Structure 1
């Protein structure tokens, strides 16, 4: 029987190696910078935050946008307060954790499901990978699923490929003095489907 450490390492290698190896855009490399492991650990530990921004979704036959009035993250638990055209006019609330979501519509109707992406799709017709977005928004691949990373010439993470999506990091910003730069604008594409996030403000949460 293989030692557990060896099994874990082999699984990690498979996670990175089993994606289809398409050519990367010019100027990008799979070679991470020397400080990537430290930066990755810092971002993984940054799991209590409050941010505001905007969300836009464009998919075949439908599109819409929303203001993220407040995205509160506490470890794996998230709560998003949205307004504008997302799910119709008015306010919408998403609250959940991996494998569970509760969605409150503008009319007060509340729905819960063990399939977060499925519930959002049923309510809106949009494919929004909310569980993975919790990681992608920080500039990290989700721990659930294979992935491929690409870095630019300055050593900044430029792209993540995961779950059929390609996430491009278009702008980074130093929101807090004691944190590494965080994504200020990213676009996730899956075929003709597009999800764009723009972060206006980002602050540590109460437990951080």
Structure 2
């Protein structure tokens, strides 16, 4: 009986040692960073649920975020911002509209509206790329680095210092779950809880 018990314990320890050497799931290196970017650029329709926090010298706060993207058209619903009702930001590459209760503001770009609302002039157009874990193609990249898997971990673009983390598989896509951005005294944090795809 003691011999059988010893053999079982030995086999169990060998099995555990073998398991500890297995690579973590979803940690295979990307075959090609350029190909990964090109594939993610084809992802242009989604629903995203998360939380957006922001800080500027004048304002700070957070809001629950529901974001619907269809090609160049987007609608962002911010709930709980400044303890008031729901705020909607709708736009495309031509015009952006902000609705809050009975009030409505229209601007040529999202940076103007988010600057007025949050004190942090965020470009929704840039966020559509950063949320996918890739740089904005039209922006100026000062520096970038990748994690051991080959995914974007740090990016300096157009004055923003960005950190990407919590990558996970969502459908066929490998996407970040958290993006931190800082530009001087301005900062934002986007935490993505769930993606839904058409």
- Cα distance in 2 for partners of 1:74, 1:196 equals 23
Question: Structure 1 pair 124/169, CA: closer, same or farther in 2 (3 Å)?
Answer: closer
* Deviation (angstroms), 1:153: 2.3
Greater gyration radius: 2
2:127 alignment counterpart: 133
1:192 pairs with 161, 181, 185, which one?
185
CA contact (8 A) 1:99 1:116 kept: no
- Cα distance in 1 for partners of 2:110, 2:43 equals 23
Q: Normalising by the residue count of structure 1, what TM-score does the alignment of the two structures yield? A: 0.76
Q: How does 1:146-185 map to 2 (within 5 A)?
A: 146-147=140-141, 148-176=143-171, 179-185=172-178
Q: Normalising by the residue count of structure 2, what TM-score does the alignment of the two structures yield? A: 0.79
1:47 aligns with 2:44: yes
- Cα distance in 1 for partners of 2:173, 2:118 equals 35
Q: Which has the higher helix share?
A: 2
Q: Which has the higher contact order (CA 8 A, sep 6+)?
A: 1
Q: How does 1:97-112 map to 2 (within 5 A)?
A: 97-105=92-100, 107-112=101-106
1:74 pairs with 43, 52, 70, which one?
70
Aligned length: 169
CA contact (8 A) 1:166 1:189 kept: yes
- Cα distance in 1 for partners of 2:107, 2:30 equals 40
* Deviation (angstroms), 1:181: 1.1
- Cα distance in 1 for partners of 2:43, 2:134 equals 11
CA contact (8 A) 2:133 2:176 kept: yes
- Cα distance in 2 for partners of 1:52, 1:152 equals 25
What are the superposed Cα offsets for residues 88-113 of structure 1, whole Å, 9 maximum, x if unpaired? 511000111134211001x2211111
- Superposition CA RMSD, Å: 1.7
Unaligned stretches of 5+ residues in structure 1 = 1-31
* Deviation (angstroms), 1:122: 2.3
Secondary structure of 1:181's aligned partner: strand
